[in-house]
Amino acid sequence: MNKKIFFSLIAGLCFSAGALFLAFKRIPLGDISSYLQSIDYLWIIPSAALVYAAFLLRVIRWRTILAASHTLTFLQTYHPLMMGFMLNCVLPARVGELVRPVLLKRNHAIPFTTGIATVAAERLFDMVCLISFLAVIFVTVPMDPDFSYTYKTYTLNRETLRTLGSSMLVFALILVLGIAAITLEWTQNLMMAILRKTPACFSFLGATAPLAMERYFTRPMESLILNIASGFSLVKNPAHLVFCILLSFGIYALHGLSFYLFSLGCPGVDLNFLTASAIMIIICFFIALPSVPGYWGVWEAGGVFSMALFGISGKEAAGYTLVNHAIQIIPVIIFGMVSAVLTSVNIFKLSDAAPASELLVKE
């Protein structure tokens, strides 16, 4: 196993175990078991269907981003995307993000740099969308007035979350302006000039310090800036840009609706669409943390924490979160496997090759 993936797996195991412990430490397993038996599992069908619909919108968005440089059919973008997300669910280090560009390069001769740039653009659309959603939720959605969480000297309550929401709206605006600035050639040149001069500032630490800074900071940052810039340069068409933004909000609206529909079959889980969407968005931020494949542990911690914000705690929150987690990822794994079979792709060989393909960024 690749060393990077191995250490990522170990770190993820530790983080996930800690998250699971924090999420369920006060909830008897017997209570969770009895609650799971009370759920109406018929609500899984429409909930899972909405998850799949959200991924179809992701395919359309990715195809739109790619369209500026390469025209692919729906299925030519569908299969790599589903396989990439499937591998994110079953392997550590999110190697699925690299698998998509590898497949585009292998099957359609699309440069790896172009493929990775489109994935970076997608992630930035997601980030702006999620930050905007979260900020609005913290400011507008009613929360349990008695909610309070204390860790050491820090206290998190409804008022601190509302303040955080206002700050995140400002951050989202700055992020959008920063992305726009990166796409300008003169801004890129200025950033590159600053980055290239940075290693020399550490020469006082010894002869090897500038070399280490160049290898581990300057070059990765240059690659990141170029990928972001080239990714968003693919959607310079204003109509395409607006379409991608609308698709991004549509994706998370469908996921939020999926969360809401499943709550209808869960006794004691009283959510509306907005609160269900809030829980979904908070979980999205939790799963950005290191974890085992499939985000087990951090997903549950995010679910239990976010449901406590709206007055739902204990076995109801734990049971809902566990089953809903499965609803959200199992369809992705199934359809990703189907795509691998239909396209005759050996996903295990592909996943082994993906980390090595990072070297192709300099092609």
pLDDT tens digits, 183-236: 677 787 888 888 888 888 888 888 888 888 888 888 888 877 776 666 666 666
Report the b/e string of 81-120 with b at 16+ CB within 10 A: bbbbbbbbbbbbbbbbbbbbbbbbbeeeebbbbbbbbbbb
Torsion angle, alpha carbons of 155, 252, 60, 81, to 10: 60
Write the pLDDT tens digit of every residue in 158-191: 677 667 666 666 766 776 677 667 667 778 788 8
Write down the pLDDT at residue 163: 72
For residue 361, the model assigns a pLDDT of 40
Q: What is the pLDDT of residue 76?
A: 95
**SS3 annotation, 136-189:** HHHHHCCCCCCCEEEECCEEEEHHHHHHHHHHHHHHHHHHHHHHHHHCCHHHHH
Half-sphere exposure for 4 (CA within 13 Å, toward CB): 10
Q: How far apart are alpha carbons 198 and 192 in whole angstroms?
A: 10
And the tokens for 6? 């191995």
Of residues 18 and 128, the one with the higher pLDDT is: 128
- More confident position, 76 or 156: 76
Q: What is the sign, positive or negative, of the torsion defined by CA atoms of 6, 10, 15, 16?
A: positive
How far is it, in rounded angstroms, from Cα 95 to Cα 5? 8
- Take residue 47 and report the two structure tokens written for it: 């909930």
**Token reading at 239:** 């109509």
Q: Hunting for tokens 């290898």 — which residue is that?
A: 215
The Cα 94–Cα 284 span in angstroms is 14
Rounded CA-CA distance 354/95 in Å is 6
**pLDDT tens digits, 36-53:** 999 999 999 999 999 999
The answer to whether residue 253 scores a pLDDT higher than 90 is yes
Name 332's Cβ contacts closer than 8 Å, sequence gap at least 6: 51, 55, 82, 85, 86, 89
**β-sheet bridge partners, residue 149:** 156
Nearest to 43 by CA among 290, 282, 288, 269: 269
Considering only the C-alpha atoms of the chain, give the largest distance between any 2 of them, rounded to a whole number of Å. Answer: 66
Taking Cα atoms as reference points, which of 176, 174, 178, 175 lies closest to residue 188? Answer: 178
Give 241's contacts (C-beta < 8 A, 6+ positions apart).
235
